[in-house]
Structure 1
Amino acid sequence: MRVRLNAMQGDRAAGVLLGAACGDALGVPYEFGSRTLEPPPRMLGGGLGDYAPGEYSDDTQMAVCIAEVAATGADLREAAALDRIAANFVRWAAEGATDIGIQTQQVMALVRGHDGDGLGAAMREAAERLHRQTGRTAGNGSLMRTGPVVLAYLDDPHALAEAARAVSELTHHDPLAGDGCVLWCEGMRRAVLDGTFDGVRDGLALLPPQRRDQWAGWLDDAEAQPPQHFPNNGFVVTALQAAWSSITRTPVPAEDLANGVFACDHLRDSLYAAVGAGNDTDTVAAIAGALLGARWGVSGIPLAWQRIVHGWGDHRSADLIRLALLTTGGGRADHVGWPGCDRMESPIDRPLMAAHPDDDGVVLGNLLTDAIDSGVDAVVSLCRVGRRQFDRVPPENQVQVWLVDQPGANANTAFALDQAARMVAAMRDEGHKVLLHCAAGQSRTPAVGARYATVRTGRDGTSALAEMRKLLAEHGYGVNDELSQVVQRLG
């Protein structure tokens, strides 16, 4: 029985894979000191694999291998599902890996030539054999990819613990690696459901009794020391400590909308701290990013990051969100086919195509607005869209904002609205003509349009909203009270 998520929980579930990918891509340029870290870190690309800006590494690549199986609704504890995950690992190692950890590479070599049924068991046996030979198989390589597992078991912590350990053991035999995955998965599960970080500590109850006190002490150390105190973070314990330290020791800001300060800035600041831990920067930040995404949601991730993050399998932000939400839905889309449908249908039958009163390079529209007819080459969507909704617009110029047109349904209303307006501004500064739209062109579109006006002209939100009302009156303009108040409160 899958848990039914409300809008905020769906936002947070969708943030798990994307948060990990953003942390990964943020840490890539600085891995093992390949580039001098000048705060704040940026998605510059380069690093050990000559990555493009925003490109994620093996941390997220391996998570995608798991997510592609989890998104079918498979029980990841079963042999058939583990066979498919193992096959994805082998395919990835042969065709798409930009980097492979030493331990994972050794396991892959031991199963070379094995395919079909039993591959998962063969891979697990290879990991066990490697452990007998070296006694050192507690690297961070299974913890970095564990995010997708939690989304399949939001309703059952014990099944989650079993699955986390089973997937970890495909490449990492040491029980400590499995312990780390169990703790972090329970942390993410609770973050998605409750919006807290309490699950990491509570996850101690899911570990074997003889190791609970040891892990509790390691968590104590992480909360007492800065991330840089754990530089040898190729080990699963110190990787988890560095990530946990970056989260727990970074304060959650007190919201001050007039000065552009948001509580969910905690996600950004914590990832900066995770990268600042040094050494295996992409992995520590990917581990932290998965839990931060589970806590703050897609709507708490900066849109500038969401726009450029990408990687193996041609997956961009929308694809990672799709895999996450299909997993939470047991492999099934919702009643209208989202996520995964080619197109979302408009709730109205009349297209909207109105120039923004302060900038005719911004087109205000709805789901019926044809991007090419309106002459745009960039789109900022404030609603759910299909995978081919704007297939003639370059994917790097399509940004989707998680903003629900229902008061009380958004976890980060002000941040998402402000980010949307600033993304329009950034695209305009790049010379793009931008379509700004929601499903009907009402409420969300004029609200963000008004915020864009305040960003560009310095006018107050009240007058900007009035201007939007006058412009779109004939189209059934309306902005719900929550969005109106946010626009007026933002500085």
Structure 2
Amino acid sequence: MPAPAPPPADDLRDPSWDRALGVLTGATAATALVGADASLAARFLDPAPSPPARLAALAGAALDHRPPPGGDPLDRAWVGAVRTLVRTGAPPERSPDLEHAPADDPRGVSWRALTRTPVPRHAPDRGAFACAHLVDAVWTSYTSAGDLAAMYTGALAGARWGLSAVPLQAQRAMAGTADPHALLAATFALVRGHRPDRWPHATVLADEPRRLPPFAVPHPLDPDVLLGNIDHLRARPETFDAAVSLCRTHPTDAPGLPRADWVRVWLHDDPGRNPNLHFALDEAAAAVAALRAEGKRVLLHCWAGASRTPAVAARYAAAGLGAPVLPSLTLLIRTVGGHLDNPSLARAVARLSGQDLADPAAALFPGGTPPRRADLPDPRITG
């Protein structure tokens, strides 16, 4: 079985990275999705022999292109399916070994759940997302064969749809037993080797001149939500109880923040780089709403706090607070001194509320776009 090329080593915006990162996180998050025993996720990366650890070994072989342990043809077929999914976003056309595996074998169950569960019609204005197939497939396999089959399906479906399709509520629920950042770091180590000088093993954009002054302002419709940048996360932890991060982060950025109160979203600030854009924006806004419902002061931030942050803040205003979406986009971009360098974000937020926004600049700022915040970096620099 030839090993396909791994994801690009440097361009993390390539969707194949999203899919690679979905493998380990999808497997562990599946336990939270179906309410399985949390110890299954805890044992996933534990070197001690166990059924979850065996799944982790197979997933690891798929990501770093080792032969799977042993000579089992079902193992080879399952590993090959993961590799093809990461590379292409689609399963192999056929896999007879997996298709005809015993009814209770989690490898075959996961394949059949992935390929036979219908993919929902993508209609974001109705709250329907194609990538919800991940959750549907996990439940299909769980109903058929239980917890372990759900984990195998989470890995396969994560490889198809990506980390950005794994529900944030499930990621948050599993955070107590499976560190989300450790899963990312393990994936990167498998795909490109351990690189102590590179994210996720090191913090991102930490050196001058790319550090920004800490920035945060209250959400104009909910002052207990701060809208800021990553340097506020790093420098002012006393101002918030929880965070929703829309850029790459490192545990040292907020070492005192409980893992379950730190929601990290895989979201790029580049048009065409987010295959699950509507879902990711909606999930991020829902995470803000959930944390606020728990009485927490929330920092919603990206790297500069000027593009992704106002987009999610506007979706939170519309979905969580009942505000009209287009005025909310205008208000939030002005509030943070932001910009429309990536108009796909505004279009997606509007679409979630059933609005078409062909020309965001003309519709939101008919008198001309507002001035950018003075400290904002070159648009090409993003975390």
TM-score range, shorter chain: 0.7 to 0.9
Q: What corresponds to 2:25 in structure 1?
A: 18
Q: Corresponding residue for 1:149?
A: 61
Q: Distance in 1 between matches of 2:311 and 2:238?
A: 21
Deviations 1:429-479 (A, max 9, x none): 011100000001111001001111001232332111011122122xx4445
1:420 aligns with 2:284: yes
How far apart, in 2, do the equivalents of 1:365 and 1:286 lie?
36
Q: Larger relative contact order (C-alpha < 8 A, sep ≥ 6)?
A: 1
| 1:365 alignment partner, SS class | strand
- The alpha-carbon deviation at position 185 of structure 1 amounts to 0.9
**1:233-285 deviations in Å (ceiling 9; x for gaps):** 2xxxx32232222212211111101111111000011111111114xx12101
Q: 1:252 aligns with which of 102, 119, 125?
A: 119
Aligned-pair Cα RMSD in Å = 2.5
Secondary structure at 2:16 match in 1: helix
1:269 corresponds to which of 121, 126, 136: 136
- The residue correspondences of 1:461-476 to structure 2 (distance < 5 A) are 461-473=325-337, 476=338
Contact 1:250–1:266 (CA<8 Å) still a contact in 2? Answer: yes
CA contact (8 A) 2:268 2:274 kept: yes
Q: 1:310 to 1:466 in 2, by over 3 A?
A: closer
**Percent identity of equivalent pairs:** 34
CA distance 1:143–1:456, change in 2 (3 Å):
closer
Q: Which residue of 2 aligns with 1:283?
A: 148
C-alpha change, 1:284 and 1:485, in structure 2 (3 Å) is same
Q: Does the 8 Å contact 1:380/1:420 carry over to 2?
A: yes
Match of 1:392 among 252, 256, 273: 256
Task: Report the Cα distance in structure 2 between the residues aligned to 1:143 and 1:455, rounded to whole angstroms.
Answer: 38
- 2:80 counterpart residue number: 186
CA shift at 1:144, angstroms? 6.6
Q: Distance in 2 between matches of 1:411 and 1:285?
A: 23
Shift of 1:330: 2.3
Q: How does 1:17-56 map to 2 (within 5 A)?
A: 17-26=24-33, 41=34, 43=35, 51=37, 55-56=38-39
Taking a change above 3 Å as real, the CA distance of residues 56 and 302 of structure 1, as seen in their structure-2 partners, is farther
Whole-Å Cα distance in 2 between the matches of residues 56 and 21 of structure 1?
10
Matches within 5 A, 1:260-409: 260-278=127-145, 281-310=146-175, 315-332=178-195, 337-342=198-203, 344-345=205-206, 347-370=210-233, 372=236, 375-409=239-273
CA deviation after TM superposition for structure 1 residue 294, in Å: 0.7
Distance (Å, rounded) in 2 between the aligned partners of 1:142 and 1:374: 42
Bigger CA radius of gyration: 1
- What is the rounded CA distance, in whole Å, between the counterparts of 1:286 and 1:445 in structure 2? 32
- 1:74 is matched with none
SS in 1 for 2:188: helix
For each residue in 1:21-68, what CA deviation from the matched residue of structure 2 results, as whole angstroms up to 9, or x when unmatched? 122344xxxxxxxxxxxxxx4x3x5xxxxx4xxx2417x72x524xxx
- In the superposition, relative to structure 1, how do residues 310 and 467 fare at CA in structure 2: closer, same or farther (>3 Å)? closer
Task: Map Cα deviations across residues 97-128 of structure 1 (whole Å, 9 max, x no partner).
Answer: xxx46xxxxxxxxxxxxxxxxxxxxxxxxxxx
Instruction: State the match for 1:112 in structure 2.
Output: none
Q: Contact 1:344/1:385 (CA < 8 Å) preserved in 2?
A: no
Structure 2: gaps of 5 or more residues: 354-383
- Which residue does 2:45 correspond to in 1? 64
Under a length normalisation based on structure 2, what TM-score does the superposition of the two structures give? Answer: 0.82
Q: How does 1:160-239 map to 2 (within 5 A)?
A: 160=66, 163-164=67-68, 167=69, 169=70, 175=71, 178-198=72-92, 201=94, 215-216=96-97, 219=99, 230=103, 233=104, 238-239=105-106
Q: 3-state SS of the aligned residue for 2:223?
A: strand
Partners of 1:16 and 1:148 within 8 A in 2: no
Contact 1:446–1:468 (Cα < 8 Å) also in 2: yes
The Cα offsets for residues 181-236 of structure 1, whole Å up to 9 and x where unpaired, read as 1111111111111000117x3xx5xxxxxxxxxx45x61x57xxxxxx93xx2xxx
CA shift, 1:141, in A, is 7.8
Q: SS at 2:253's partner residue? A: coil
Aligned partners of 1:469, 1:377: CA distance in 2, in Å? 24
Does structure 1 retain, via aligned residues, the 8 Å contact 2:122–2:128? yes
What is the deviation of 1:310? 4.1
1:143 Cα deviation (Å)? 5.0
Aligned twin of 2:374: none
5+ residue gaps, structure 1:
27-40, 46-50, 66-87, 94-99, 102-139, 154-159, 170-174, 205-214, 223-228
Cα distance change on mapping 1:13 and 1:144 into 2, 3 Å: closer
> Aligned partner of 1:184: which letter?
W
**Is the CA contact (8 Å cut-off) linking 1:382 and 1:438 kept in structure 2?**
yes
CA distance in 2, matches of 1:373, 1:386: 14
Alignment coverage as a number of residue pairs? 343
Aligned 8 A contact 1:20 1:290 in 2: yes
3-state SS of the aligned residue for 1:388?
Answer: helix
Task: Return the structure number with greater helix share.
Answer: 1
Matched, 1:3 2:10: no
